[in-house]
Amino acid sequence: MPVTPPQYHSAATDRSLLSLMSCVFTVFLVTGAALPALPLHIHHDLGFSTFTVGLVSGAQFASSLVSRLWAGAIADRRGPKFAVSTGLRLTTTAGLLYLLSLTFSGNPSLSAAILFMGRALLGAAESFIMTGSQSWCLALGGPGNVGKTIAWIGTSMFVALAVGAPLGSFLFDAFGFASIGLATSAGAVATMLLIGPVPDARTRSENGATVREVLKAVWLPGLGMAFPGLGYGIMTAFSVLLFVQRGWQPAWLSFTAFAAALMVARVFFGAFPDRLGGARTAVIFVTLYSVGMALVWAAATAWLAFAGTALAGFGYALVYPGFGIEAVARAPTEARGLAMGVYTAFIDVALGIFAPLLGLVADATGLGALFLISAILALCALPIAMRLRSPAETARHAHLT
């Protein structure tokens, strides 16, 4: 006789999940606000080259990768609320370092060094907040809503980044870089107050899982996500450049169409991974994503290229939660935070190592070829998803759990 799963959702639980989504939204809103302002401040106000701009900006992503597993382990040992609170404290400190750097504007090298430290702290903060929030939502939402909660958290991040960029441009133009530092710290403090009433939620265990055990459990879903994740990096870095090069205007609509379609898919189809299974969902949406990227490469007109970016965004929307639900299902229950950290690290590594290499490829082949390459690479995730769906893999997973 089938066992009825416990009903996790209640009005209080929904309010808690909404608070956590708001937490992710606020933090990535201030992160997005710095994206257009920081390069202008470093290049124009401090007088440094684009290399220094890349070095300071990239400190966040490098720090995020380095701290990802640490954040997941802490979320499991100390609880997701502790991890998120730690991330918010780091965010507050990063904003204060932004402000401190302005007091040394007369010494550009020192000012840039302080900014570098602020960006590095913000990268660590992102790891703690994202990993902790995902672990927290998974515990509150229950086992029947894994895919949906992962999709919700990701949607909060994408919406915040989309809104944060124009907000940052406005603040920087109107009030200077000091407003970015103030917004970063103030947003983090406000978020601390927001999550204060939310109850902590974690599975306690006497024996914590090791990174090696979790890696063994989630490497296959992580590898599956890395292939289309690389294409996402191509879209964010090169889509606008490609559209400008081909005279397709407005060029900014390329990524906006991608992000808008992604949000639509997650809002209306976010429950698919829980209903169909993560691997099956990944097969469907990886295919859609790959077709969209190939369409951008083959497009002869602007409207067809915009349709391609929208289809790619729609497909990418449920690839991450699709493989993510498989990663969580295979990891020890007491190590969900570490599992999400390890899983996400596969994307970090793919973007950090291979995206720059593809940038070099573009010098020889042109920008358009990158979209075809990314479409082909994304299809490499299909056999991985099929293996995750195989009876032998399903039986092995059932035996382990």
**Dist CA 236 CA 210 (whole Å):** 34
| CA distance to 33, 34, 204, per residue, from 41 (Å) | 13, 10, 46
Within-domain flag for 205: no
Query: ∠156-161-167 over CA atoms, to 5°?
Result: 120
Do 146 and 235 share a structural domain?
no
What CATH number is attached to the domain comprising 232? 1.20.1250.20
Within-domain flag for 202: no
Give the number of domains in the chain: 2
Peptide bond into 199 cis (omega under 30): no
3-state secondary structure of 331: coil
Which residues, 6 or more positions from 319, have their beta carbon under 8 angstroms from its beta carbon? 225, 228, 229, 282, 285, 286, 289, 381
Q: State pTM to two decimals.
A: 0.69
Per run of 10 residues, the mean pLDDT along the chain (length 401 residues) is 42 66 81 76 80 70 78 81 91 95 91 91 87 77 65 76 77 90 91 80 54 82 90 74 83 79 85 86 95 94 93 92 87 74 79 70 80 93 87 45 44
Within-domain flag for 328: yes
Do 37 and 129 share a structural domain?
yes
Do 253 and 168 share a structural domain?
no
Query: What was the pLDDT predicted at 316?
Result: 92
Structure tokens at 133: 């929030």
Structure tokens at 230: 């690389």
Within-domain flag for 374: yes
Domain of 156, in residue numbers: 11-195
